[in-house]
Amino acid sequence: MKVLIVGSGGREHAIAASVAKSDRVSEIYCAPGNAGIGQIAECVPIGAMEFDKIVAFAREKEIDLTIVGMDDPLVGGLIDALEAEGLRAFGPRKNAAILEGSKAFSKDLMKKYHIPTAAYENFDDPDAALSYLETAKFPIVLKADGLALGKGVLICNTLEEARDGVKSIMMDKKFGTAGNRLVIEEFMTGREVSVLSYVDGKTIKTMTSAQDHKRAQDGDQGLNTGGMGTFSPSPFYTKEVDDFCKKYIYQPTVDAMAAEGREFKGIIFFGLMLTEDGPRVLEYNARFGDPEAQVVLPRMKNDIIEVMEACIDGTLDQVDLQFEDNAAVCVVLASEGYPVSYEKGFVIGGLEHFEDKEGYYVFHAGTKLTEQGIVTNGGRVLGVTAKGADLKQARENAYRATEWISFQNKYMRHDIGKAIDEA
């Protein structure tokens, strides 16, 4: 069969690598893709938000399955546009992708269906938000309602900071229309865990757990980024936590969406915080995490096409989802200066070291093929993933593999997975 993947990051590279392993797949296309994806798929210069062009391409090439990896096209309704033309597509429709597209929606859903999350209020009016803050407890969390590249969350320690936050999100529109509404939420403490799951509208099957490192610098210092590295599984995600989440979070979320007439098919990513009072939902995403996908997918034993088709057909209950009994760590190689400002266009050396090395992967995030070879083309450049018998081994392997790669202004964190030493 012919598969089209929509997106251009490390996540889409990891998806493409899994798709390439399926015996059922003969051709893989990616819109727009990147230099790494181009080694296993044919990249087509169509942007992820160019719905008409994507639909036309899928029709012309007779694509059997389109996989949408990114949040913006899902929230914007790309699945609906493909289905309207009779094309098969993996991902939630627009009315279900709102689970990620509107934080106010997801908070109201959790409240209505008693799914554990932080206490909150939604605001459309900045004055109402400002007066609410007068009697609030600090720190407090402000969240722009819509998509903001993972940057729309502000943790404010003082009333002053929170006032500035309301002003920048709702009045100055720092995140554009994403800030038309604001969620003000109770601040929670605890360890964070990401759990990704496949959903077919009724049945949910969770994947192995993972943990992301969002801050730019070692010791969780510096600015928030798209993610500087991940490890999987999380040793803090115990059987007890899993049992709790299955009962009170995972299935209740799928059932709540169905009850609202918003049947969810695709990936639900649960961002969880393990608080003293038990697990709480921090956020939902309607897609694989980036870079969570880079540590979770290499450990999945199933044929990804079969699992995705089961999600579309509503037969996920018949799938026995299995993961390898090992661990993986992904270290992101970024451009020095990310996420603020950085130079790009530097030639990348050493990629060939990953060829045919079992258990080692180099997923491209921001790269481009030029006459000089493959060059850096973004803030996050590569995700170096390695497996190991356990997390410690996987971490050693991943850091060793980061040394195989060279480019000017190469930057990485040195403490990805360090938290596991405390487990």
Give the nearest distance from C-beta 229 to ligand AMP in angstroms: 14
Interaction partner, residue 141 (ligand GLY, ligand AMP, none; CB < 5-8 Å by kind):
ligand AMP
* Choices 148-156, 259-267, 340-348, 396-404 (CB under 6 A): range interacting with ligand AMP: 148-156
CB 412 within 8 A of CB 334: yes
Alpha-carbon span 145 to 168, nearest angstrom: 13
Alpha-carbon span 209 to 270, nearest angstrom: 10
Within 10 A of 6 (CB to CB), how many other CB atoms are there?
Answer: 30
292 binds ligand AMP, rule: CB under 6 A: no
Alpha-carbon span 245 to 284, nearest angstrom: 14
- Applying CB under 6 A, among 153, 228, 311, 328 the residue interacting with ligand AMP is 153
Give the nearest distance from C-beta 61 to ligand AMP in angstroms: 35
CB 328 within 8 A of CB 417: no
Interaction partner, residue 292 (ligand GLY, ligand AMP, none; CB < 5-8 Å by kind):
ligand GLY
Give the nearest distance from C-beta 73 to ligand GLY in angstroms: 15
Looking at beta carbons only, is 227 or 252 nearer to ligand GLY?
A: 227
- Applying CB under 6 A, among 141, 178, 272, 405 the residue interacting with ligand AMP is 141
Interaction partner, residue 188 (ligand AMP, ligand GLY, none; CB < 5-8 Å by kind):
ligand AMP
- Applying CB under 6 A, among 20, 40, 44, 118 the residue interacting with ligand AMP is 118
Give the nearest distance from C-beta 196 to ligand GLY in angstroms: 10
Q: How many residues bind ligand AMP (CB under 6 A)?
A: 15
Closest to 274 measured CA to CA, from 336, 196, 351, 192: 192
Q: Are strands 42-43 and 27-32 parallel, antiparallel or unpaired?
A: parallel
| Gyration radius from the chain CA atoms | 21
Alpha-carbon span 259 to 166, nearest angstrom: 33
Could you give phi then psi for residue 112, rounded to 5 degrees? -60, -35
Give the nearest distance from C-beta 31 to ligand AMP in angstroms: 26
Cα 36 to Cα 5, 12, 291, 331, distances in angstroms: 14, 10, 15, 16
Angle, CA of 362, 10 and 297, to the nearest 5°: 80
Subset of 181-220 contacting ligand AMP (CB under 6 A): 185-188, 192, 214
Chain centre to alpha carbon of residue 107: 19
Interaction partner, residue 192 (ligand AMP, ligand GLY, none; CB < 5-8 Å by kind):
ligand AMP
Within 10 A of 55 (CB to CB), how many other CB atoms are there?
Answer: 20
Within 10 A of 53 (CB to CB), how many other CB atoms are there?
Answer: 14
Interaction partner, residue 289 (ligand GLY, ligand AMP, none; CB < 5-8 Å by kind):
ligand GLY
Cα 2 to Cα 41, 87, 212, 301, 305, distances in angstroms: 11, 12, 32, 21, 11
Looking at beta carbons only, is 117 or 285 nearer to ligand GLY?
A: 285
Angle, CA of 342, 346 and 347, to the nearest 5°: 155
* Choices 54-62, 83-91, 106-114, 149-157 (CB under 6 A): range interacting with ligand AMP: 149-157
Footprint of ligand GLY (CB under 6 A) = 150, 212, 227, 285, 289-290, 292
Alpha-carbon span 330 to 374, nearest angstrom: 21
Q: Are strands 204-212 and 191-200 parallel, antiparallel or unpaired?
A: antiparallel
- Per-residue x/- mask for ligand AMP, residues 249 to 278, rule CB under 6 A? ----------------------x-------
283 binds ligand AMP, rule: CB under 6 A: yes
| Residue nearest to ligand GLY according to CB distances in the complex | 289
Interaction partner, residue 183 (ligand GLY, ligand AMP, none; CB < 5-8 Å by kind):
none
Give the nearest distance from C-beta 334 to ligand AMP in angstroms: 18
Chain contacts with ligand AMP (rule: CB under 6 A):
118, 141, 143, 150, 153, 155, 185-188, 192, 214, 271, 282-283
